[in-house]
Amino acid sequence: MSTIRRRPLVAAFALLAALVVAIPLLGSSRASAADSQVYVVHGIPGVPVDVYAGGNLAIPAFQPLTTAGPLAIPAGDLEVKVFAATANPPATAAARVDAAVITQTLAVPSGANVSVVANVEGGTPNLEAFANDLSPVVEGSSRVTVRHTANAPAVDIAVDGTVAIPGLAPGTEKSAVLPAGTYDFAVQVGGTTVLPLDGTVIPAGKNVIVYAVGNALPGAPLTLTAVVQVLDVPVEMAPVMEAPAPVMASPRMTG
């Protein structure tokens, strides 16, 4: 079956506030109702890392521009440390002789579905979390979410050559429900495309999340790229519009 190409639905995009919640990276062996479902996104280009949570090794040799999870996370506070990956990393952070590139104490909410992205927004490696919208979409469509987690100024997002999201600020996201199809997306700074994403296929029944990561500030190497995360969402049938009832003429009385 060939892919249908759609024109941009600029008016469909609406600003969603980015929920900056802090989520740890260590999953429990058995999920409970209070656990959060956590995806981890490695958005620091070129740097494999070892991730420690609660002092213990959680994700060794985590490769750049990949995702992990979901992890079942109990509510509470947890210290997370991220180190440059090393061969045969020790089982505990206390045994490391090198310095962590990220150290954050993260507060876990209860029963959330979130993605945590390691990034260099603001020029310093850090962790940032966003709530994932898993609400239903109409059959034949998907939700498309763009998250700005790059070391870059505000960017414009163009769809099929037209700016659909102007001025997306660092640390924020925007989302829309679009018909499934193939789109030419582009990240622009000052009218110049710094990251073309031509031929992006949007399947039906998903939340397709695009993270802008890396660096696009003047004076430093341009490492801006994208990480794409695809989550399943429920699908509902489009409402069926009932035809209006026919207007019946009143019978004429004779006699």
> What CATH code is carried by the domain that includes residue 101?
2.60.40
pLDDT score, position 13: 38
**114 and 22 in a common domain:** yes
For residues 80 and 104, is the Cβ–Cβ distance under 8 A?
Answer: yes
Cβ neighbourhood burial of 192 (10 Å; 0-12, 13-18, 19+): exposed
Segment 39-86, tens digit of pLDDT: 999 999 999 999 998 899 989 999 999 999 888 888 888 788 999 999
pLDDT for position 226? 96
Q: Is residue 247 part of a domain?
A: no
Flag whether 248 is in a domain.
no
In 3D space, the residue among 147, 170, 153, 157 whose CA is nearest the CA of residue 216 turns out to be 153
Domain enclosing residue 191, as ranges: 135-234
Express each pLDDT in 234-244 by its tens digit.
Answer: 999 877 666 56
Place of tokens 């409970």: 32
pLDDT tens digits, 155-211: 999 999 999 999 999 999 999 999 999 999 999 998 999 999 999 999 999 999 999
